[in-house]
């Protein structure tokens, strides 16, 4: 029980003063779903997945109507063994017209390898927490942005769009509370550097509709809402409620992971990414267009869970109501 007391932030237990959390204006008519299962999802799965399975997963996802599928990460296999086959995956997948296959590129070397392997879009990962940046990539936020600057310059020269991620936007496993102003500052820097979109990540899923609203209010002062995405983790079951608030504030790009692949490296046994199936179910119910075929998505989730020999984290998949 002592462990639980340490892990829950104080404001989660008692009241957190917050203002302005009622419903805002109209919801977007369309939402772009960014599928991160093959990269973010698999990267946080224990079992290393064979290359043909990864390729099949991405190919199946391509058939669902998803417009963006994060394929892999051009990071050193020493750090992320799961992504060691990045070149084979990139070269092996069917690339459907109209679908983007962004890849992570933590530095210039990764960027060059990605382009050589055929990547047409890349992503860079910043954070709103100094301690998280230090622990994760062993440098300060400022230093990480300098490294990304190199990637941005090369990307611009090659006409390759860059998506920026900001981690720990609603809380950090090391620092705890993260100020909305800090998130806005890092987001602004990455947007100014040339990222076409900034994905705001609740890395440990600790956020609630209250903190989501507060954070977005601050970021929206610096970055146009059309360039914002939310990347919510469901570790505390708050993801869909947080996403709903983001939609109410005008965000129209949402990241998710098929079958809710990817646990939380900071809370053993807890879940991580929100499941794409559950997100699409909600968006369908709201009459918001995504272009995604939920049944095909569920079939893809079934495929990868069988391959991983694990149960799905998607409640929609679990339900498949049978009388």
Give whichever of 195 and 258 is closer to other proteins, judged by the CB atom. 258
Q: Is 264 a catalytic residue?
A: yes
Q: Quick count: other Cβ atoms within 10 Å of Cβ 143?
A: 13
Per the residue annotation, which of 168, 195, 264, 305 is the catalytic one? 264
Burial class (CB in 10 A: 0-12, 13-18, 19+), 221: exposed
Tokens of 172: 């950090």
Instruction: Candidates 266, 276, 300, 305: give the one binding other proteins (CB under 8 A).
Output: 266
Q: How far is the CB of 208 from other proteins (least distance, A)?
A: 3
Task: Assess 26 for contact with other proteins (CB under 8 A).
Answer: no
Q: Site map for other proteins, 222-241, x if CB under 8 A?
A: ------------xxxxx-xx
Rounded CA separation 72/74 (Å): 7
Task: Assess 210 for contact with other proteins (CB under 8 A).
Answer: yes
Strand partners, 263: 271
Give whichever of 111 and 266 is closer to other proteins, judged by the CB atom. 266
Instruction: Candidates 105, 123, 208, 257: give the one binding other proteins (CB under 8 A).
Output: 208
Instruction: Candidates 15, 46, 78, 309: give the one binding other proteins (CB under 8 A).
Output: 15
Give whichever of 164 and 171 is closer to other proteins, judged by the CB atom. 171
Quickly list DSSP for 189-244: HHHHHT-SEEEEEETTS---HHHHHHHHHHHTTTS-GGGEEEEEB-TTS-HHHHHH
Instruction: Candidates 205, 223, 249, 262: give the one binding other proteins (CB under 8 A).
Output: 205
Q: How far is the CB of 29 from other proteins (least distance, A)?
A: 13
Q: How far is the CB of 100 from other proteins (least distance, A)?
A: 26
Long-range contacts of 191-194 (CB under 8 A, 24+ apart): 191/164, 191/222, 191/223, 191/227, 193/145, 193/148, 193/149, 193/152, 193/164, 194/152, 194/155, 194/156, 194/162
Instruction: Candidates 84, 227, 264, 297: give the one binding other proteins (CB under 8 A).
Output: 264
Burial class (CB in 10 A: 0-12, 13-18, 19+), 171: buried
Strand partners, 216: none
State the DSSP H helix or E strand holding residue 33, giving kind and residue range, or none if neither: strand 32-35
Q: Site map for other proteins, 167-186, x if CB under 8 A?
A: ------xx------------
Give me the active site residues, please: 264
What are the residues binding other proteins (CB under 8 A)?
A: 1, 3-8, 11-23, 173-174, 205, 207-211, 234-238, 240-241, 243-245, 264-271, 275, 278, 281-282, 284-287, 314-316, 318-323
């Amino acid at each position: 029980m002592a462990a639980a007391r340490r892990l829950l932030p104080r404001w989660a237990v008692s009241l957190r003063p917050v203002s302005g959390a009622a419903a805002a204006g109209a919801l977007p008519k369309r939402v772009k779903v960014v599928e991160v299962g093959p990269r973010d999802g698999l990267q946080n799965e224990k079992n290393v997945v064979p290359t043909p399975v990864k390729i099949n997963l991405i190919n199946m996802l391509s058939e669902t109507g998803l417009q963006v599928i994060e394929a892999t990460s051009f990071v050193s296999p020493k750090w992320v063994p799961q992504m060691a086959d990045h070149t084979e995956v990139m070269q092996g997948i069917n690339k459907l017209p109209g679908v983007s296959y962004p890849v992570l590129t933590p530095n210039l070397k990764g960027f060059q390898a990605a382009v050589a392997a055929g990547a047409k879009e890349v992503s860079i990962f910043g954070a709103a927490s100094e301690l998280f940046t230090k622990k994760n990539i062993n440098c300060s936020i400022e230093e990480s942005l300098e490294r990304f600057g190199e990637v941005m310059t090369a990307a611009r020269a090659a006409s390759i769009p860059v998506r920026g991620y900001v981690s720990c936007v609603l809380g950090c496993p090391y620092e705890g509370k993260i100020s909305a102003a800090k998130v806005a500052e890092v987001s602004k820097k990455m947007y100014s550097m040339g990222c076409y979109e900034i994905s705001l990540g609740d890395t440990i899923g600790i956020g609630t509709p209250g903190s989501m609203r507060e954070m977005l209010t601050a970021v929206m002062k610096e970055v146009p809402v059309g360039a914002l995405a939310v990347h919510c983790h469901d570790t505390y079951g708050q993801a869909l409620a947080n996403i709903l608030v983001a939609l109410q504030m005008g965000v129209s790009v949402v990241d998710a992971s098929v079958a809710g692949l990817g646990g939380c490296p900071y809370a053993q046994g807890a879940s991580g990414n929100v499941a794409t199936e559950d997100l699409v179910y909600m968006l369908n119910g709201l009459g918001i267009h995504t272009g995604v075929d939920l049944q095909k998505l569920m079939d893809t989730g079934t495929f990868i869970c069988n391959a991983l020999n694990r149960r799905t984290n998607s409640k929609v998949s679990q339900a498949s109501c049978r009388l």
